[in-house]
Each structure stands twice: as C-alpha cells, then as structure tokens.
Chains A and B, each alone.
Chain A
Amino acid sequence: MLLSMNWIEDFVDLSGLDKLDLIHKLSLSTAEVENEIFFKGADLSGVVVAEIKSVEDHPESKKLHLLKVDAGDGKLTDVVCGAPNVRVGMKTAFAKVGATLGEITIAPRPLAGYTSFGMCCSEAELGISDDHSGIMDITEDVPCGTDVKQIWDIDDIVFEIDNKSLTNRPDLWSHYGFAREFAALAGRQLKPLEVEDLKAYDSLKKIDMKIEDPLCQRYSCMQVENITRSVSPVNMRIRLSYCGMRGINFLADLTNYLMLEVGQPMHAFDSRKVEKIRIKRFDTPFTFQTLDGVERNIDENTLMICNDNTPVAIAGIMGGLDSEIVEDTTTLTLESATFDAVSIRKSTVRLAHRTDASMRYEKCLDPEMTTLAIARFINLLKKYDKDVQVVSALTDEYAFKYDTVTLNFDKNFVDRYTGIEISNDTILKTLTDLGFKVTLDGDSFTVVVPSWRATKDVTIKADIIEEITRIYGYDNFDINTTRSPLYPVRADAVKHNEDKIKDMLVKRWNLHELHSYVWAYNDEMKDLGLPVEDNVRLANATNPNIETIRNSIIPTQLCQLKANAGYAPDYGIFEIGRVVKGLKADGLCNEQKMLCITLFSKTKNIRDLYLELRDMLAIIAGDIKHKSLSYKAAEPAHAFEHPVNLNKIYIDGEEIGTMGILHPAVLKKIDKKANVVFAEINMSAFTDAETAPIVYDEPSKFPGVSYDISVEVPSGTLFEALENCWQAEGNGLLKGARIVDTYDTEEFHSITIRFEFSSSERTLSGAEIGEIMDKVIANLANIGVTLRS
C-alpha cells in the first residue's frame, strides 16, 4: 500500500520533524516500509500557469498548432504544441525554457520549421497522474506565471508499506490509521476528521433496507442528488495517483479517496436500481456480471447485496454492472457496510477475485466506521460540489456489535514481560496516543481498547505489551540474559547416534551426505524401471511427479546415482531421512527415520563391495552399541532388490534393517559396468538396542600362543557354522579366531584360521592347546570341514 505524507499531515502536524526518520521509525514500530521512498515533485521545476493567447494551425502538420502563450513574464512566448485540446483563453501548465520534467530539461527546440520556447504539459508529463489525453485545462483562478507547485500538492513523500505486515491491523489500511501511528511516534496530536453532521438529515425519509443474513454485520446508507461535478479536483487526483489509483470520475474517485483515507470501502448505486436493499445469500447458484464486465459464478455461500430479490453487488467485493452509476443517474445510494471477514475471504478465493475492498474486509474492519465514513463522504462531496443535496436520512442497521474489550494489568506485568523498566507515565501516554482509554490507579491499569483495534487485534494483555514496546522502540531495549537456573541436558538418543554415524560415514569411509525429498520421484523412478509403491499420498500436490510419500530411501538414492553419473569411479552416498511405512492402526502415518547407504563402484568386485558395506555396518554397531550384527537371508520384496545376498540385519535378535545388491535390471539403467550395493537401517530400532558395556581385557603378563589350521570348507557352509565349532571349546583361553588366508580353486574353498590363546595366570603348554584344538578339529569334521593336508 502506497501512502502520501501530505495526506497523513492532513491529520497530524509533523512540521519541524525529519520525515524520513519518522518513516524509518514507523518501519521499526508499526509496519514494514519498503526500501524505496519516492520524492514526488523533486524532479519538477519551472512549470507555471500560462494562458493561451492565440492558436494557429501549423501550415504543414495536421496535429501541430502554433501558440502564443502568456506565462506571466510580460511577453508572449511562441510554442509549438501537438495537444488536441488547445484553445484560446485556456490556462494550462507551461514548462518554460530551463524547466525540468524528470530527466528532461526544456530548451528552445525546432519543431517542423518553427521553434518552440517551452512546452505545454499534460498531467502525465508533470508526473501527477497517468492522464495524457491533452494538456492541462486549469480552472483555478490564479494569475499567469504562478508556479504549479503553489497551486497543487505536487511535492510529496510517498512510501510503500508491505501489505503482508498489515494482516492483523484492519485500522492501518488507511491514511488516517497511519496518521494515528505517526502521532504516537512523534508525540503529536491526532486531528479529528472533518465530517458532516448527519443528524441534520434525520427528518428525511429512510431508505428501505434490511439485513437478512448474519454475515452482514452492519449496513449504513444514504441518498444524495444533484451531483454536477464530473472531474475530481487536481489535488485529489494527485493523491490517488501517487497512491497507485487511476482517476475515473469525481464520484468513483471520491469513494476510492474515502477508502484510502479512512479505510472504509464504499459503493455508490444508482438509486433506481436499489429501491429495496436486502442483504442475503441465495440457495441456488447463478451467474452475476460485475462492473468490470466479467460474468462470475455465485454460489450459496456468497453474500449478495440485492434489490429485493435481484442481486446488485457481491458484498464486500465488487458492484454489479446493472446498478452502476450511468449518464442519466440522478440519485445515488451510498453504501458503507461491514461483513464477516472470513466469509469475504472465502468468497474472494472462490471467485479468484481480490479487490481493494475485499482486501480490507478480510482483515475484520471496525463496524463503528461505516457511519463515520458516510459523514466524511458527504463532507467532502459538499466541499467539492456545492449543489449536492442529501435526500435521505442516514439509514443504518447494526446487526453485529463487537464486545468492548477492557483489559486490566499492573506495572509488574509489563516489567516481567519486557525485562526493562518502562514508567507508568510512558505506558499511559503511549496507550492514550494510540486511542486506548486508560485509567491508572497506583500501579494498576485499566485499558479500554478502541473499536478499531478490538475486532480481533487487541484482545488480551499480551497485546498491550506489544503496543507499549513497539512505540517505546526495540532499539532502546537493554538486553540481558536470563536468570534461570541451569540443569544438565541429556542429548536425544536418536540424534546422538545420528551424529556419530554421520561422522563415521564421512570421516572413516569418505561417504557423501545428501538430502532428498520425502516423496517418491515418479519420473526418475520410471526411468529406472521402478514402480512407485502404494503409500500415503499428498492430497494437493500440484506436480504429479511428487504425489506419493516414499516408503524407502533406497529408490531415491538410486535416482541420485543416476543423476550423478560420471561423478567418480567409486563413491558412496548416505542420508538419514524420513519414510512412511503405511498407516498405523490409529490412521496416522507410520513415519520412520532411516539411515540409507548406497555404494557405487566401477573398480571393486561385487563381493568386496558388498562386504565393505557389511563391515561399515558392523563397525557402526560395534562402536556405538559394542555389539555384533547378525544376518538372515530375506526374500526380495522390491523391484530394486537382487534376490541373492539380500539380508535382514539384526541386533540382539531384533531386526534393524536390510542390506543387498542392486537388481541387474535397474543397475543396467544406472551404469552397465558398475556394482551397486545398499543398506537401509531403521534409526529408532538401532537406537533402541541396548548399548553393551565395553569389556576391557587386561593384557596378560604371559605370552600368548597362536595356532593356525588350514581347512577345506564345503560350498554353502557359512563361517558362522565354523564359529560354532570352537565357541564352547576354548576353556576361557581362546581369545579369538580369524581368517588369515583364503585359497580357492575350482574344486574347493580353503581358508587358514588363526586361533589366539592366552591366559592371565600362566604360560600355556603345547599340550593343553593341542587338546582344545583336537576338539575343535573334531567338531569341524562333524560339519564336513576337513583339515587340508
């Protein structure tokens, strides 16, 4: 919203104050002012009133005229002018030689064989409106040579408020509202609006009007006749133009002017079309032509202004074409009303049609304003058009009245909330300046909220704190830390594990952490031949590519591998992100936080890559939980899973995730020559596993003994089965067994296992170790694992 400083100064005397500083204060105390401030008229000089003394047609041009003008300097000046509306005796705005109009400086200028010593100007050329239909026709009674800036308020400071910062302030959608803020900020008096005393017309007939729907809170109207003026005063048009509104005609301009001045949208009907005003909704939908000529679909929720049963306007949004003021209109009915804000907003959304009026109604306008706006309207109407006649009494139905809001608080409340010392006097003055009625008794305040703030904005004590502190100025606050006691804070377990895992993956294995979206990537998955599995969906996705919430991060990472094609021959990515595993019994999403790892390699064979991933997971579990993982072959359930080597992963017998190899059909679409493995771990299942204590083994003073055996292992026998052969046989002396060599031929798979023995009490004898190993070898033989000769 654009605001004119001149207009604001109609209502508060800001003389002697730095206006830019005040505007800056406003931005910090009231509402956000956009950075660019417009200094209207600053680039205009040397334009005076001049009378056209003679007009001759240019001998060779149909458009151009040769004028002699009197610019009040005691001589006649030759001017070549192309405007269509030149006539002898007309006074116009004349830019003398040396005048500046924006970036142009006027100099004698040859035009079609004649020299023009100056330029007659249109309003657009002066920058005071967008009217460039002809040169200005000045009707004011001023002598030639008078600078136009002396007649009209061309010099002005115009600034823009971000509308978003006004959503909670219905009172600030007007110059008068901002004048009140400036008054409070500057400590000056707000002047009352000059208004017509409407009581004077009480004896006239009332208008036939009735509210038939609770969505209309208040409806006030009045009839006037004999409006003869058609063009608005220049100053009015300048203000409207500076505030971004086009001039239309006197009546339309005046309703706009009123809206910008006091914030009340108004509408003027041809009285012949609204003899019986009814405000209501219709049960059956219909179409309605608004005054912009557009046919709009009206449904049963849209409140309408009607002439009995004929709709004439969409309440709070726009008038109808049929009831518009036309050439032969003699009597006008002025409407000034308030409607239910939510209903207006919904209608606006339904109609996809937002207007300056509806924008204001959405904010909960003060119903007290309707009659005041009419009184101001009549005042201005009579000021600019002396012949106007009021022909009805004020007709007003006040159906819904907001409760008066009275708030009680004491100084201690303000001290606690602000954390600084603000005196009772400052509190009293600030609130009074803003229109609150304040009573102070000792340290206790009783505050009556003014009607324009009481529609939804100020309802509780905390709202009063804002009023006090924003005017006090947040820049003036002393800032202090709290005096709250300190207590130890334990880190969230999942979060703690997450941080550790990220560090391990990045620092130990050089993996890259990526982020992705929570929905399945339809298009990208289609490219990989992967179906989007059924899951909870977005109800209002605008993009079909993102309609289903993912149930696993693995497909996302496969899409990321494809997108990163050629990045490096070997790399790994991971993410700790969310998935939804369907709905729970209560109908809510079963949201799970998953760790997903994908390794890509063009240099490693698939077994090494797969076991590398296995090792990562084992080390993570070993470091964080001090536990080992176990695995169980799983049946493939998703299109990306290779059926072989797909394993479920367990800690303490509880499933925590899956690992596997990418299905070759998908792999070929990513990279024909690469290997890809993946794992997905449920973070809360992982976190839930208990962390075992670290078991510290005091190093023995006696030397340990190692004992190697080489065995042939039948295919299909898992190492786990071998381990079972010695786990019970160590007599507490076997400290570990590991594979130190493998040797494979086509016929057999052979491994060398090194057993480590030690005792904390003595040096072990060959005999006791031999005895243990004999048992181990016998056990191995039982499962078909034989010693190699």
Chain B
Amino acid sequence: MENQIIALRNEITGKLSEVTDLSELDAIRVAYLGKKGSITALLKGMKDLSVEEKKSFGAKVNELKEEATEAIDKKALELKEQEIQRELDSMPVFDVTTPANTDRGSYHPITLVQRQCEAIFRTMGFAIIDYPEIVTDYECFEALNIPKHHPARDMQDTYYLDNGQLLKSHTSAAQNAILKKYGKALVEKGEPIRAIFPGRCFRNEATDACHENTFFQMEGVMVDKDISISNLIYFMKTMLSEVFRKDIKVRLRPGFFPFVEPGFELDISCLICGGEGCPSCKQSGWLELCPCGMIHPNVLKEGGIDPEQYTGFAFGLGLTRLAMMKYGVKDIRNLNSGSLKALAQFTDDE
C-alpha cells in the first residue's frame, strides 16, 4: 500500500513536469483527484483495512491528495501565466507610420467661418436670422434710405428678376424685417434688438479671381436706448479678435452708405504682417474688412422704431472675404465651383 502512494506521487510529479496546457492539466486532475481518480480509488480501497491501518494509511493518502491538489493548482497558475505570456509574445509590431485612413466628409469653408461667427455672437446674446435671397426693391433699397436714383440701384449692379423682384445685393436687405420682428419687444419690454443674419448676396458683375457675383455677408444689428459708436467699435473688435483668435487692432474711417449715419469703413491690422506693411496689405499695414455704422434714423423709422429714443449700430461683414483670408483661398471662384478637389479639404475647423 505504501508503495502505491509512492508510485502515485512519482507518477503525478512526472506527469506534471510534462504537461504544457490547461486542458491536459484538467485531465490529470480528473485522472487522480476526480470521483474515479487514482487517489480517490486508494481511499475507496481502504474499506478492508483495520482501524489502525485505516488511520495511518488514510492520513498518508490525504497527505498525497493535498500534495497533488497543491501541485496541480500551482501548475495551473504557471500554465495560465505562460498562456498570457504567449499571447503577449505573439502580438506583432504594427507600423503606425503607415498613412491613416482619414476619408471623411467636408463642410463648405463658408459654413465653417459662418459657424464660428455665429457662435461668438450667440454668446453675446444675438439671435441668428434666416432670410430669403430674393427680395423686393423696398427691402433692398427703399427701407434702407437708398433713394430712387442712387447709383446702387443701377441695373449694372443689381440682378433684377422679370417679376420685379431682385436678388439681394447686400444682407442689409434683412434689416427692415429684423427691426420689425423684434421692435415690439424692444418698445414694450425693453428687450434690445440683437441679431445677425448670415446670407448670400448677388452683384451683377464679371467674375475673376477677386470678384464673384454670388458671395456671403453677415449682417449684424443692435438697437437699444443708448447704443453708441463706442459700443460699435467694441463689438467689432471683440468679434474679429475671436474670429482670428488673437488681439486684432481695428480702425474706423468715414465711409458713406445711405443706411448708416455716421458710416464707417472698418480696417483691421494686417493679419500677415501685423501692421508693419507687406504686399498683402499693399504696405499700408491695414486691411479693409467691413462697412459699418450707426443705423440711419430713417431706417429705424421705417422699421417702426423711434430714432429719438433708440439708437443702434449695424455692420456687414464679408464672410466670403473672411473665409478666403482665414484659409488662404486665392481664387474666389473656387468657392462656388463645386470642385471637390478644392473644397473637400475643409473637413472641419476648431
């Protein structure tokens, strides 16, 4: 009997030294420790022994059982570690420097710039307005204090339609509607009018690298009790600094537009040279960017707002121009060309 224990111990030790995977180990466990296993059989075979023998032999068999269990568990742990190690070792090194698959869609660059501007003005409490592209003479000119014989109304500048309407030549065509839409809340509840209107404009002119007959502007309007020139400069400077993500210097020069008084041309410090003078700014250090001004009293009146009580500013930012400056688009015609070679590059921005 004793010999049987010794033989079994040797056998188990031998088998465990050869085992290489967990399923084999499981088989060993079953073969020795299972219900029909060899060690279990030893215990079963004790029934014919004397009490004394049972006691001493049983202790020895139990000892063997514990030893075997421990050895198998230890081996199991070892094998599991080996398996993990094998998995680790089998992982090949991948070449991360191969070109990434970055196929993706794209936004039109105007959309990108427009969204940036909208986001800035939204944080300052401005509503974003949508407006048609086809308007009446009243909206585009008359409501804006542009007299009947003003050169801006000439056929050569504006696209007229055969039903008497026209393709709006500036986003200011939405001003009257904005004043009328929000005027009531201004007068009755004291809610200031703050609105921007990004939209397409049309001019009847020949196209080249710098001229388009279809382009985007963004109109901005603010009206309240004491809106001042000082406020106008503040908003323009803040907005442009946000758009270009740096402190932008602005300067105003007198500019004549019938719907503002005083009217200004707003220049910004040249983005290329920072104001030192370079070919981009024709050595002046400044870039002309956007006409603006205090809304003309006649325009307020036409929008149903009393100019004696309220003042306001308006500006017309050239979104197309801004996009070209921001992304370095040299030929304006690319923007409406539908060319994916040019436009699919604008996958997203900020």
Give chain A's interface residues, CB within 8 Å of chain B.
Answer: 27-32, 35, 165, 167-169, 342, 345-346, 349, 416-420, 460-463, 465-466, 469-470, 474-475, 477-487, 489-492, 494-495, 499, 502, 505-507, 509-518, 536-542, 549, 556, 559-560, 563-564, 567-568, 571-573, 578, 580, 583, 587-589, 591, 593
Q: Is the CB of B284 within 8 A of A549?
A: no
Taking a contact as CB atoms under 8 Å apart, the answer to whether A416 and B226 are in contact is: yes
A512 touches B343 (CB 8 A): yes
What is the CA–CA distance of A416 and B229 in the complex, to the nearest angstrom? Answer: 9
Let me know if B262 is at the binding interface, CB within 8 A: yes
Q: B231 contacts A485, CB within 8 Å?
A: no
In the bound complex, what is the Cα–Cα distance between A489 and B149 (angstroms)? 39
| A168 and B282 alpha carbons, distance in the complex (Å) | 26
In the bound complex, CA of A598 to CA of B184 (Å):
43
Closest to B192 in A: A484
In the complex the two chains form, is B160's CB within 8 Å of A539's CB?
A: yes
Query: Are B339 and A563 within 8 A (Cβ)?
Result: yes
User: A168, B256: Cβ atoms under 8 Å?
Assistant: yes
Identify the B interface with A (CB < 8 A). Answer: 103-108, 110-111, 115, 122, 125-130, 132-134, 136, 149, 151, 154-156, 159-165, 167, 190-192, 194, 200, 202, 204, 206, 213-214, 222, 224, 226-231, 233-235, 237-238, 251-256, 261-265, 282-284, 294, 296-297, 307, 311, 335-341, 343-344, 347-348
The distance in angstroms between the C-alpha atoms of A390 and B111, with both chains bound, is 70
Q: How far is the CA of A479 from the CA of B235 in the complex (A)?
A: 9
Q: Decide if B253 touches A32 in the complex (CB within 8 Å).
A: yes
A513: nearest chain-B partner, CB-CB: B108
Asked, given contacts A509-B105, A513-B106, A564-B339, whether A491 binds B128 with beta carbons under 8 Å apart, the answer is yes
Give B249's nearest chain A residue, CB to CB.
A475
Chain B residue numbers with a CB within 8 Å of A485 are 190-192
CA distance A593 to B131 in the complex (A): 10
Q: Are B111 and A513 in contact (CB under 8 A)?
A: yes
Q: Quick one: which of A169, A482, A511, A542 contacts B231, CB cutoff 8 A?
A: A482
Task: Determine whether the beta carbon of A462 is less than 8 Å from that of B262.
Answer: yes
- When the two chains form their complex, are residues B222 and A482 in contact, meaning their CB atoms are under 8 A apart? yes
Q: CB-CB < 8 A to B230: which residues of A? A: 418-420, 477-480
Note all chain A residues with C-beta closer than 8 A to B127.
489-492
Q: Is B254's CB under 8 angstroms from A466's CB?
A: yes
Whether the Cβ atoms of B154 and A349 lie closer than 8 Å is yes
Known: A27-B253, A538-B161, A588-B165. A487 touches B125 (CB 8 A): yes
- Cβ contacts under 8 Å, B213 to chain A: 517
**A166's closest neighbor in chain B, by CB?**
B256
Q: How far is the CB of A554 from chain B (nearest CB, A)?
A: 13
Q: Report A320 CB to chain B, min CB distance, Å.
A: 26
A518 touching B214 in the complex, CB below 8 Å, given contacts A538-B162, A560-B338: yes
CB distance from B130 to the nearest CB of A (A): 5
Q: Is the CB of A515 within 8 A of B261?
A: no
Is the pair B133, A578 in contact by a Cβ cutoff of 8 Å?
yes
User: Given the known A-B contacts A480-B231, A571-B340, are A489 and B126 also in contact in the complex, defined by CB atoms under 8 Å?
Assistant: yes
Q: Is the CB of A507 within 8 A of B105?
A: yes
| Cα–Cα distance between A410 and B84 once the two chains are bound (Å) | 88
Beyond A168-B256, A474-B264, is A492–B162 a contact (Cβ under 8 Å)?
no
Complex contacts, A462 vs chain B, CB 8 Å: 261-262, 294, 296-297, 307
Cα distance, A29 to B251, chains bound together (Å): 11
Set of chain B residues within 8 Å of A507, measured between Cβ atoms? 104-105
Q: How many Å lie between the Cα of A418 and that of B237 in the bound state? A: 16
Asked if A515 contacts B341 (CB within 8 A), the reply is no
How far, in whole Å, are A514 and B204 apart by their CA atoms in the complex?
22
Known pairs A35-B282, A480-B230; A536 contacts B214 (CB<8 A): no
Is there an interface contact between A515 and B165, defined as CB atoms closer than 8 Å?
A: no
Compute how far the CA of A169 lies from the CA of B256 in the bound complex, rounded to whole angstroms. Answer: 9
Q: Which B residues are CB-close (under 8 A) to A461?
A: 297
Of A349, A511, A560, A588, the most chain B CB neighbours within 10 A belong to: A588
Complex contacts, B224 vs chain A, CB 8 Å: 482, 484
CA distance A331 to B127 in the complex (A): 70
* CB atoms of A516 and B336 under 8 A apart: yes
**Do the beta carbons of B255 and A567 come within 8 Å of each other?**
no
Please name the residue on chain B nearest to A460 by beta carbon.
Answer: B297
Can you report 28 A-B residue pairs in the complex whose CB atoms are below 8 A from each other? Answer: A28-B251, A32-B265, A346-B149, A418-B228, A462-B294, A465-B262, A477-B230, A478-B230, A479-B237, A489-B125, A492-B128, A502-B107, A506-B104, A506-B348, A514-B343, A515-B336, A516-B336, A516-B338, A518-B214, A536-B165, A537-B161, A539-B160, A540-B159, A560-B338, A563-B337, A578-B133, A580-B134, A589-B163
Among B110, B164, B213, B254, find the residue whose CB has the most chain A CB atoms closer than 10 A: B254
Contact in complex: A465, B261 (CB < 8 Å): yes
Tell me the complex Cα distance, A486–B265, Å: 29
A589 with B110, Cβ < 8 A, contacts A35-B284, A465-B294, A475-B251 known = no
C-alpha spacing A88/B163, complex, angstroms: 77
Pick the contact of B132 from A486, A541, A571, A591 — CB < 8 Å? A591
Q: Is the CB of B128 within 8 A of A515?
A: no
CB < 8 Å: which of A502, A505, A536, A573 contacts B161? A536
- Docked pose: A483 CA to B231 CA in angstroms: 9
Cβ of B265: which chain A residues have Cβ within 8 Å of it? Answer: 32
Residues of B with C-beta under 8 A to A560: 338
How far is it, in angstroms, between the C-alpha of A729 and the C-alpha of B233 when the chains are bound?
68
Contact residues in B for A511 (Cβ distance below 8 Å): 105
Assess the A589–B155 pair: CB atoms within 8 A: no
A567 to B340, CA, bound (A): 7
Q: Most chain-B CB neighbours within 10 Å: which of A489, A549, A568, A593?
A: A489
With a cutoff of 8 Å between Cβ atoms, the chain B residues found around residue A346 in the complex are: 149
Q: Given contacts A492-B127, A513-B107, is CB(A417)–CB(B340) below 8 Å?
A: no
In the complex with contacts A470-B254, A487-B191, A512-B105 CB distance below 8 A: yes
Closest Cβ–Cβ distance, residue A217 to chain B (whole Å):
16
* CB–CB B311/A165 < 8 A: no
From the candidates B165, B234, B338, name the one contacting A479 in the complex (CB within 8 A): B234
Which residues from chain A contact B125 at a C-beta distance below 8 Å? 486-487, 489
Q: Are B264 and A512 in contact (CB under 8 A)?
A: no
Please, which residues of chain A bring their CB within 8 A of the CB of B161?
536-539, 549, 589
Within the complex, what minimum Cβ distance (angstroms) separates A397 from chain B? 25
In the complex, the chain A residue whose C-beta lies closest to that of B344 is A512
Give the interface centre of A32, A168, A514 by most chain B CB atoms within 10 Å: A514
A157–B160 Cα gap in the complex (Å)?
45
Given A481-B238, A536-B161, list of 7 further CB < 8 A pairs? A165-B255, A349-B154, A465-B229, A513-B108, A517-B213, A518-B202, A538-B167
Note all chain A residues with C-beta closer than 8 A to B156: 540
A contact residues around B343 at 8 Å (CB): 512-514
B163 partner, pick from A31, A480, A536, beta carbons under 8 A: A536
By beta carbon, the residue of chain B nearest A494 is B130
Q: What residues of chain A lie closer than 8 Å to B149, measured between beta carbons?
A: 342, 345-346
**Residue contact B105 to A505, C-beta cutoff 8 Å:** yes
Contact A469 B229 (CB under 8 A): yes
Q: Is the CB of A167 within 8 A of B256?
A: yes
Contact residues in A for B296 (Cβ distance below 8 Å)? 462
The interface residues of chain B lying within 8 Å CB-to-CB of A463 are: 261-262
Q: Give the complex CA separation of A571 and B343 in angstroms.
A: 13
Q: Which chain A residues border B162 with CB–CB below 8 Å?
A: 536-539
A587–B130 CB distance below 8 A? no
Given A165-B255, A506-B107, A513-B108, decide whether A480 and B128 contact each other with a Cβ distance below 8 A.
Answer: no
Q: Considering the complex, give the chain B residue whose CB is closest to the CB of A521.
A: B338
Give the complex CA separation of A165 and B307 in angstroms: 26
Pair A542/B253 contact, Cβ less than 8 Å? no
For the complex, give the distance between the alpha carbons of A406 and B335 in Å.
50
Q: Kindly state the separation between the CA atoms of A481 and B228 in the bound complex, as whole angstroms.
A: 9
With A469-B229, A482-B231 known to touch, is A512 a contact of B106 (CB < 8 Å)? yes
Chain B residues whose C-beta falls within 8 Å of the C-beta of A517 in the assembled complex = 213-214, 336
For A30, list chain B residues within 8 Å (CB). Answer: 254
Closest to A562 in B: B338
When distances are taken between beta carbons in the complex, the residues of chain B under 8 Å from A583 are 163
A30 to B254, CA, bound (A): 6
Nearest CB of B to A165, in Å:
7
